Amino acid sequence: MQLRSLTALLALTLAGPALADPDWKAVGQALGKEGTMMPGGVYRVGMPRTDLKVTLDGVEIKPGFALGSWLAFKPMGNDAMVMGDLVLTQDEVNPVMKKLLENGVEITALHNHLLRSEPATMYMHVSGHGDPVKLASVLHDGLAQSKTPLAAAPGPQPQFDFDTAATDAAMGHKGKANGPVFQYSIPRAEPVKDHGMEVPEAMGSAIAINFQGTGGGKAAITGDFVLAGNEVNPVLRALRSNGIEVTAVHNHMLDDEPRMFFMHFWGNDEPQKLAKGLGEALRQVKVMQGAAPASTGSAPAGTGPAAQPIPTTSKGCSDQGKRESLRGEELRKFLEECKHPSD
């Protein structure tokens, strides 16, 4: 009995006190814009470039469609890790990069996501590790070298001139409305790690696909596939054979495991036709299995892999929060964001 008690006491001593969550309110204040708790313990801040008026092939690009800067923080021991993607004009790239590098934030990628856009936009991926409030302060100073708006602005209400249920069925996955953009977030089957830490969906490890209505029964699509090396060319062939343009293939992280490649794309056509092509591409990828939406005649029910559906009801949000083991204030904020997406 004494030996068991001594062993238990030693285990508690070695375990030490539980680590407290970072002060996310202070992080938001240092950054200049508050974020939202997301599944996986991620504090994410969306900063759409609402100041930019970008067109591509005559289509006006909505901020939430392809101009959404974001930063995501996750506790890592006594500190935090931050990852993000900053949408910048060409003349903003070097001033922002200089300020971040001078203060210890790493640049992990710099590239285009789109072709032929006017004005041209670049996408700077960043990573940092340390005190989350200090990281947020550095990132604020970096963003100050650009015209990225940090004031919150109400987004337009969802309005689509195409059948979103039909695109769900054709793709084999369920999307959700975010203002004028219909979005899919499809997690990969296996976890992705960076610097040994698992990268949750909210930090950019999931396949992202966006639809934006362009009138006349058409929609534009963009986003990125997150791919293992042996998936790159099968997905590329599937997209190209369905008339979907591949606009970039590159990395977003430097120390990811397994090594991931990000494939960006563009199309502007009949939504179900585009969804069919995207569905064929998704069948080349190992994605998380889940319940697919019912068929509406556009594609056979249960065709291809399906991601865990994104909750669209209060009960669905609550169930998702339980699956993510969220508690207290973290759960409350997640439930609020789940029903009212902000970026």
Please give the average per-residue pLDDT across 140-144, as a whole number.
Answer: 98
One domain, residues 224 and 273: yes
Give percent of the chain above pLDDT 70: 76
Instruction: State how far the Cα of 281 lies from the Cα of 302, in Å rounded to an integer.
Output: 15
Q: With contact defined as beta carbons under 8 Å apart, do 70 and 84 qualify?
A: yes
Mean pLDDT lowest among 19-28, 33-42, 96-105, 256-265: 19-28
Residue 58 in domain: yes
One domain, residues 106 and 166: no
One domain, residues 29 and 145: yes
**What local confidence, expressed as pLDDT, does residue 51 receive?**
96
One domain, residues 150 and 160: no
One domain, residues 147 and 197: no
One domain, residues 117 and 214: no
Residue 17 in domain: no
One domain, residues 320 and 277: no
- Amino acid 27 reads V
Residue 5 has pLDDT above 60, yes or no: no
At what angle are helices 164-171 and 271-282 packed, to 10 degrees? 30
Residue 10 in domain: no
Residue 3 in domain: no
Q: Where is mean pLDDT largest: 177-181, 270-274, 294-298?
A: 270-274
Q: What is the DSSP string of 312-329?
A: -SHHHHHHHHHHTT--HH
- Residue 315 pLDDT level (bands cut at 50, 70, 90): low
Tens-digit pLDDT profile for residues 240-253: 999 999 999 999 99
* Phi, psi dihedrals of residue 279, rounded to the nearest 5°: -60, -40
Q: With contact defined as beta carbons under 8 Å apart, do 128 and 106 qualify?
A: yes
Q: With contact defined as beta carbons under 8 Å apart, do 185 and 206 qualify?
A: yes
Residue 298 has pLDDT above 50, yes or no: no
Residue 126 has pLDDT above 50, yes or no: yes
Residue 227 has pLDDT above 90, yes or no: yes
Residue 1 in domain: no
Tell me what the pLDDT averaged over the chain comes to.
84
Provide CB contacts within 8 A for 179, sequence distance 6+: 62, 64, 155, 156, 157, 158, 341
**What local confidence, expressed as pLDDT, does residue 318 receive?**
67
Count of alpha carbons within 13 angstroms of residue 321, beta-carbon side:
22
- Residue 323 pLDDT level (bands cut at 50, 70, 90): low
Please give the average per-residue pLDDT across 162-182, as a whole number.
Answer: 92
One domain, residues 161 and 303: yes
Residue 13 has pLDDT above 70, yes or no: no
* Phi, psi dihedrals of residue 305, rounded to the nearest 5°: -75, 160
One domain, residues 179 and 285: yes
- Residue 321 pLDDT level (bands cut at 50, 70, 90): low
**What local confidence, expressed as pLDDT, does residue 330 receive?**
61
Specify the pTM: 0.78
Residue 3 has pLDDT above 70, yes or no: no
At residue 336, the 3 state secondary structure works out as helix
One domain, residues 149 and 163: no
The counts of H helices and E strands in the chain are 10, 17
- Residue 63 pLDDT level (bands cut at 50, 70, 90): very high
- Amino acid 72 reads A
Where among 155, 180, 200 does a domain terminate? Answer: 155
Residue 37, token pair as written in the block: 């708790």
Q: Is 220 exposed, middle or buried (0-12, 13-18, 19+ CB in 10 A)?
A: buried
One domain, residues 186 and 106: no
Mean pLDDT lowest among 14-23, 180-189, 222-231: 14-23
Residue at token pair 């508050």: 34
Give percent of the chain above pLDDT 90: 69
In total, how many domains does the chain have? 3
Where among 125, 155, 185 does a domain terminate? Answer: 155
- Residue 300 pLDDT level (bands cut at 50, 70, 90): very low
Residue 317 in domain: yes
- Residue 222 pLDDT level (bands cut at 50, 70, 90): very high
**What local confidence, expressed as pLDDT, does residue 342 receive?**
39
Residue 9 in domain: no
Where among 132, 155, 178 does a domain terminate? Answer: 155
Q: What CATH number does residue 42 fall under? A: 3.30.70
Residue 316 has pLDDT above 50, yes or no: yes
- Residue 157 pLDDT level (bands cut at 50, 70, 90): low
- Residue 288 pLDDT level (bands cut at 50, 70, 90): confident
Give the range of the structural domain holding residue 101, as residue numbers without chain letter. 23-155
More confident residue, 157 or 184: 184
Q: What is the DSSP string of 2-40?
A: HHHHHHHHHHHHHH-SPPPPP-HHHHHHHHTS--EEETT
Kindly report the length of the chain.
343
Mean pLDDT lowest among 12-26, 74-88, 269-283: 12-26
Nearest partner of 281 among 309, 302, 304, 262, judged by Cα: 304
Edge-to-edge strand ranges of the sheet holding 218-227: 176-178, 181-186, 207-215, 218-227, 261-269, 245-250
- Residue 161 pLDDT level (bands cut at 50, 70, 90): confident
Residue 331 has pLDDT above 80, yes or no: no
Please give the average per-residue pLDDT across 130-139, as a whole number.
Answer: 97
One domain, residues 109 and 38: yes
